[in-house]
Chains A and B, each alone.
Chain A
Amino acid sequence: MRLKRFLLRYYPPGIILEYEQHGNIKNKSIDLLDLKPETDIDAVMDEIMSKEPLITPSRLEQVRQLIQRLQEKLAQSDDHKFYLFKVLRAHILPLTNVAFNKSGSMFITGSYDRTCKVWETASGEELHTLEGHRNVVYAIAFNNPYGDKIATGSFDKTCKLWSSETGKCYHTFRGHTAEIVCISFNPQSTLVATGSMDTTAKLWDVQTGAEVSTLSGHSAEIISLSFNTTGDQIITGSFDHTVSVWDVRSGKRIHTLIGHRGEISSAQFNYDCSLIATGSMDKTCKIWDSSVGQCVGTLRGHDDEILDVVFDYTGQYVATASADSKYVSHKHSVNKTRTTHVDYTGQYLTFNPQGTKLLTASADKTARLWNPLTGECLQVLEGHTDEIFSCAFNYEGKTIITGSKDNTCRIWQ
């Protein structure tokens, strides 16, 4: 094994090692999720040295410089104010979901008008209209970090795979017997996973377009799915009140997370894949140890159904959005929980990649930015004339897109 070069990853902080083994170029990452601007750099270096044989003493100075750069990035003050940059009369019917590619140069919007559109962020120009679905385009995804492909899941029960560069349709995945409502590429971009109201999830081969496996076992609709960071596991959240953890290679169920007393609304891994957070209509959020499938904590505090949950990259914070006019950010560790309450109705939420801001989308026609630690509202993004269904940050955290029932999409910078 021979180290070729270092790559820096700002969010979440990490150093990627590109190395050669038996003539093949491979990558591995050193995740520095707990790195802070004030962290003692020597302690970090000692730990890396002890764990990572690829880092030889001759490389130490380079590693020190990389860590310093990460710390400088983390220390940058983030008082960016967002202003409306463009209103896109995107579709003739309401939008569903929105998503950015990794660099943020492009984004996509799904709609009730049965199309998905590809947009250039800088100009607000429409690049492609992906036409072919026969019903609502509900779930959409880029194959980030590559960004050269787009997957769309529709109420027409099919999923389509497209080229983001040409707008050409590569494959139509047929097999589900009800609406497709969630979709994701694996991190390697070799598979697409689709979750359906038919109670199953399916994995499809990106190259060949063939069905790889059907994940069956839920007794009600699947409405949430996500891969872990390494791509060897996938979780599905269902209206049957449970979440299943599946082995991607075999398609076998590894764990069933049982404990919620209402439908699941969202299920997410944290970045290092050690934890799973689940939100439920039973008004609670639960944290699970993903290796054993055991519940390690129940976060209470909402008076109404939880509609969305999200981890920040450190896995220390979980934010939950509920119909009860509150969003709650929980600092979670196995034996203590600190919560920040805010009186506000959100139905969708996301952290910026830095973890310093929370963005909520709401039925009150606004999107809002929050300080996740204090609960202070930093900004209100106003202008949509109907409720906002979805929102997203780009990787830099400097651009926001919001998709609304008012048929428009807005870019904020």
Chain B
Amino acid sequence: MGLLAILRKLKSAPDRELRILLLGLDNAGKTTLLKSLASEDISHITPTQGFNIKSVQSSGFKLNVWDIGGQRKIRPYWKNYFENTDILIYVIDSADRKRFEETGTELGELLDEEKLSGVPLLVFANKQDLFSAAPASTIAEGLNLHIIRDRIWQIQACSATNGEGVQDGMKWVLKNVKRCK
């Protein structure tokens, strides 16, 4: 990767290139999702102290996906990465009901960010493979997604570990990005 490669990915992307920002609380499964998108091994994933970037080819698009660490002390730095974002993907641990309120607050703040205004939002209700996972509809209701009027949005149930639902989510991304670009 290197610093130069990061600079190249900062540029406003050309037509067939998308900048996707992956956010969510710590332990939501962002890095696992990123690696599963890139078809990489997901058996040894540790908390992200900074960020990970991967480029994935899909339907003729180059998706530059930025996975940003979600621990509380580094959340204030999410702003570093907002510039030129084409799609915001917000990942939720559907089984961690105790933190639904916290994740809702963080998402609410993101949607108020000027630099992300109008950016299409995909919410991944992750970890659906867990028995205790809340269904996507419950999460959508809890997050009040239906009151969002300033952007298109979608919620997609998925499991980053077994891959279920991930491609459906990405299909929605590609379909809606083509409309915007």
Contact = CB atoms under 8 A, between A and B. Distances in A.
Interface of A: 92-94, 96-97, 112-114, 134-136, 138, 155, 179, 181, 197, 221, 223, 239, 263, 265, 307-308, 347-348, 363, 386-387, 389-390, 405-407
Interface string B110-126: 00000000000000000
B45 interface: no
Contacts of B1: 347, 363, 387
A96 B3 contact: yes
B50 interface: yes
For the complex of A and B, list the 7 residue pairs with the smallest distance between their C-beta atoms, beginning with the closest. A347-B2, A94-B50, A93-B50, A389-B3, A136-B80, A135-B80, A407-B49
Contacts of B5: 347
Contact of A94 (B11, B51, B73, B83): B51
B32 to A, nearest CB: 18
A348 B5 CA distance: 12
Given A113-B77, A197-B11, A239-B11, A406 B49 contact: yes
B16 interface: no
Given A112-B77, A112-B80, A363 B50 contact: no
B7 interface: yes
Given A94-B51, A113-B77, A407-B49, A223 B11 contact: no
Contacts of B51: 94, 112
A299 B34 CA distance: 38
Chain A, interface SS category? loop
B50 A348 contact: no
A389 B6 CA distance: 11
B3 to A, nearest CB: 5
A407 B50 contact: yes
A218 B3 CA distance: 21
Nearest to A405: B50
B3 A92 contact: no
Contacts of A390: 3
Nearest to A156: B80
A265 B77 contact: no
A347 B4 contact: yes
B74 interface: yes
7 contacts: A92-B74, A93-B49, A93-B77, A135-B80, A347-B3, A347-B5, A363-B2
A221 B2 contact: no
Contact of B77 (A114, A197, A263, A363): A114
B2 A112 contact: no
B152 interface: no
Given A92-B74, A348-B2, A181 B7 contact: yes
B24 to A, nearest CB: 17
Given A92-B73, A179-B10, A155 B80 contact: yes
Contacts of A113: 74, 77
A256 B169 CA distance: 47
A407 B73 CA distance: 14
Interface in B1-44: 1-5, 7-8, 10-11
B79 interface: yes
A197 B7 contact: yes
A119 to B, nearest CB: 20
A407 B64 CA distance: 22
B1 to A, nearest CB: 6
A257 to B, nearest CB: 19
Given A113-B74, A134-B79, A389-B2, 11 more contacts: A93-B74, A114-B77, A135-B80, A138-B3, A239-B8, A239-B11, A307-B4, A347-B3, A347-B4, A387-B1, A389-B3
Contacts of A197: 7, 10-11
A221 B80 contact: no
Contacts of B69: 93
Contacts of A348: 2-3
A390 B1 CA distance: 12
Contacts of A181: 7
Contact of B11 (A221, A386, A387, A389): A221
A136 B78 CA distance: 11
A265 B1 CA distance: 14
Contacts of A93: 49-50, 69, 74, 77
B10 to A, nearest CB: 6
Contact of A135 (B3, B4, B11, B79): B79
A113 B1 CA distance: 19
